[in-house]
Amino acid sequence: MSTGTTQWTAERVKRLRGKRTQAEFGQLIQVPKNTIWRWEAGYVKPDSERAARLSRLARKEKFLQNWKLAGSAELLGDLEEGSQILREQFEIAWQRSLKKL
């Protein structure tokens, strides 16, 4: 996980914090606990300096080091278009399963 490419989302911050309290986690990366709360609530994202601290801690703790994307996904445009594509794919799969019966 390189410092420059990690996108620190609310979920990733929560997962890196693990079972530590927000205060304990804040001490590790030198930010107040209310900053951790705002990141985890999705109100703000870490600035570049704090993102670098998170990335250093993640490397040190081997956080998501062996993580790989599983399965496949298709990046869809808007919600309506995506819903239509999913409906069509579901219909095709359903029809195939009926033929096997």
pLDDT in tens, 40-77: 999 999 999 999 999 999 988 887 666 555 555 555 55
- Indicate whether 95 belongs to any domain: no
**% of the chain beyond a pLDDT of 70:** 76
Domain count, the chain: 1
Average pLDDT over residues 26-33: 95
Per-residue burial over 66-86, b if 16 or more Cβ lie within 10 Å, else e, is eeeeeeeeeeeeeeeeeeeee
Per-residue burial over 16-32, b if 16 or more Cβ lie within 10 Å, else e, is bbeeeebeebbebbebe
- Indicate whether 45 belongs to any domain: yes
Residues near 19 by Cβ (< 8 Å), separated by ≥ 6? none
- Indicate whether 49 belongs to any domain: yes
Under the banding of pLDDT at 50, 70 and 90, the label for residue 101 is: low
- Indicate whether 101 belongs to any domain: no
Q: pTM of the prediction?
A: 0.60
**% of the chain beyond a pLDDT of 90:** 45
Which one-letter amino acid corresponds to residue 57?
L
